[in-house]
Amino acid sequence: MNALGRHILAEIYGCDAEILNDRENIERIMVESALRAGAEVREVAFHKFSPQGVSGVVIISESHLTIHTWPELGYAAVDVFTCGNDVNPWDACNFLTSMLNAKHMTATEVKRGIFEQPVKVANL
Amino acid sequence: MNALGRHILAEIYGCDAEILNDRENIERIMVESALRAGAEVREVAFHKFSPQGVSGVVIISESHLTIHTWPELGYAAVDVFTCGNDVNPWDACNFLTSMLNAKHMTATEVKRGIFEQPVKVANL
């Protein structure tokens, strides 16, 4: 199987509600998670909801990281999607989970962009 | 099962390469897809890669849409993640697929944020 990318869908429960509701902190954690995994950050967009919750994305050369937080539930939905072999999405996912002081995390890895023949991609 | 959100992971093949490589057009299609599904657009970030390919995200009140394109393969990896009952992510996904002149699309829907008890969310 020749896949362009690996996409982790992480369900992160029992997080610190204050962290989840702090837009600047969430943005810093997400960018740091991308960098620690060796990704190259291209664009960043975060939004704070009223009365609570943060949504945001870090577009990386290798694809993206997204987060949506529900402080009132201690829950965050996180995606880490990476292409190529240089970045391990689990590095970002695990670091991020630890930074949210999460009690438990479950995650699934999905392959993206599956082709019958090996594919060579120009921009990685 | 009480889920906060529905997340579609779409693999879109046989797309028009010119469309896939046009950042402005991809951004317009993504925003239009969100709006047609009834979502509220909050933040938009798109990036054009060299020599080719576009990555981008539309953060909506209901979660997000993301896209990564490989014009050289005619392929786009698309995610549509919506929370609440007002927006059907398939509306956005199907519209978007048609706008890319795709030959075929396969997609999986994943439930996000599963809780044992019904959850009421303040910001939707």
What pLDDT sits at residue B120?
A: 64
What pLDDT sits at residue B10?
A: 98
Q: pTM of the prediction?
A: 0.94
Residue A116 lies in a domain: no
Which of B7, B33, B64, B83 is the catalytic position? B83
Is ipTM beyond 0.90? Answer: yes
**Cα A107 from Cα A12, distance rounded (Å):** 8
Query: For residue A7, which residues of chain B lie inside 8 Å, CB to CB?
Result: 9, 77
Q: How confident is the model at residue A124 (pLDDT cuts 50, 70, 90)?
A: very low
**Cα A50 from Cα B102, distance rounded (Å):** 38
What pLDDT sits at residue A102?
A: 97
What's the whole-number average pLDDT of chain A? 94
Q: The domain containing residue B37 runs over which residues?
A: 2-110
What pLDDT sits at residue B9?
A: 98
Residue A18 lies in a domain: yes
Residue A71 lies in a domain: yes
CB contact under 8 A, B83 and A64: no
Percent above pLDDT 90 for chain A: 90
What pLDDT sits at residue A2?
A: 85
Reply yes or no on whether the pLDDT at B97 is more than 60. Answer: yes
Which of B52, B68, B112 lies at the smallest CB-CB distance from A11? B112
**Cα A86 from Cα A97, distance rounded (Å):** 21
What pLDDT sits at residue B122?
A: 55
Residue B46 lies in a domain: yes
Query: For residue B45, which residues of chain A lie inside 8 Å, CB to CB?
Result: 43-45, 57, 59
Q: Closest chain B residue to A11 measured between Cα atoms?
A: B113
Q: How confident is the model at residue B118 (pLDDT cuts 50, 70, 90)?
A: confident
What pLDDT sits at residue B124?
A: 45
What is the CATH classification number for the domain harbouring B28?
3.60.90.10
Percent above pLDDT 70 for chain A: 94
What pLDDT sits at residue B121?
A: 60
Per-residue pLDDT averaged across A84-91, rounded?
96
Reply yes or no on whether the pLDDT at A64 is more than 70. Answer: yes
What is the residue-wise DSSP string for B12-69?
EES--HHHHT-HHHHHHHHHHHHHHTT--EEEEEEEE-SSS-EEEEEEETTEEEEEEE
pLDDT by residue (tens digit) across B39-90?
Answer: 999 999 999 999 999 999 999 999 999 999 999 999 999 999 999 999 999 9
Angstrom CA distances, B10 to A10, A14, A118, stand at: 18, 29, 20
Query: For residue B57, which residues of chain A lie inside 8 Å, CB to CB?
Result: 43, 45, 57, 59, 64, 66
pLDDT by residue (tens digit) across B4-35?
Answer: 999 999 999 999 999 999 999 999 999 999 99
Q: Convert chain A into a string of H (helix), E (strand) and C (coil).
A: CEEEEEEEEEEEECCCHHHHCCHHHHHHHHHHHHHHCCCCEEEEEEEECCCCCEEEEEEECCEEEEEEEEHHHCEEEEEEEEECCCCCHHHHHHHHHHHCCCCEEEEEEEEEEEECCCCCCCCC
Rg over alpha carbons for chain B, rounded to the nearest Å, is 15
**Cα B3 from Cα B83, distance rounded (Å):** 9
CB contact under 8 A, B63 and A70: no
Residue A124 lies in a domain: no
**Cα A56 from Cα B58, distance rounded (Å):** 10
Q: What is the count of structural domains for chain B? A: 1
Q: How confident is the model at residue A122 (pLDDT cuts 50, 70, 90)?
A: low
Which of B4, B45, B75 lies at the smallest CB-CB distance from A70? B4
Reply yes or no on whether the pLDDT at A5 is more than 60. Answer: yes
CA distance A80 to chain B (A): 12
Residue B123 lies in a domain: no
**Cα A107 from Cα A123, distance rounded (Å):** 28
- Indicate which of A20, A55, A67 best probes the interface with B, i.e. most B CBs within 10 Å of its own CB: A55
